[in-house]
Chains A and B, each alone.
Chain A
Amino acid sequence: EDKVVQSPLSLVVHEGDTVTLNCSYEVTNFRSLLWYKQEKKAPTFLFMLTSSGIEKKSGRLSSILDKKELFSILNITATQTGDSAIYLCAVEGLTGKSTFGDGTTLTVKP
């Protein structure tokens, strides 16, 4: 059975801090790993990673995948209160099915 484990489950930081969110996985026939941000509503897409060692970057957010060690990290630098959300990691297999972790709840205090 496919499995995705995120850590930490929750995190409280102050504005300006840098955070690192972790995602480890076990999946049959890996296709891609995706990160989503969920505020009060539905998750919204952040990154898709398919190759090891290639950093994806969008503003203050970046992510990288290690397919040998089966994990990914999501970094957020210079955090802002608007970064407060649940960050979800999902792994997609070749069947097209995505398995999600339990998420990391990030709270950024002013």
Chain B
Amino acid sequence: DAGITQSPRYKITETGRQVTLMCHQTWSHSYMFWYRQDLGHGLRLIYYSAAADITDKGEVPDGYVVSRSKTENFPLTLESATRSQTSVYFCASSNLRGTGELFFGEGSRLTVL
């Protein structure tokens, strides 16, 4: 199916464990983004990527690692999860040659115990 999909949708882990959230899009959009959303906050940008092998930090990158070896995939890794990383994570994509609109995945709810 066309679109942007995230996995897992729900994850519970423990402090100190490594966690990877996956994001896959089928539109061949050049830009991809990872945001986190906490209660009382809008979306805060963690990392973004303008194309394969090009990534850049957003507002809150500490504790996260990304890679983009293929245009369609943009995984987000928490190398050593902390309780403060409990959040809902949204992956999004856009094509700057289009409307600039972001297309969001359904979100991954991560709980760090």
Seen from chain A, the residues whose Cβ lies within 8 Å of a Cβ on chain B are 1, 4, 6, 31-32, 34, 36, 41-45, 48, 88, 90, 92, 95-103
Contacts and interface: CB of A to CB of B under 8 A. Distances in A.
A interface SS class = strand
Nearest to A94: B96
Contact of B40 (A6, A43, A90, A102): A102
9 contacts: A1-B59, A48-B100, A96-B31, A96-B48, A96-B50, A97-B33, A98-B94, A100-B44, A103-B41
A98 B104 CA distance: 13
Contacts of A88: 42-43
Interface string B29-50: 0010101000011111100101
Contact of A42 (B44, B90, B99): B90
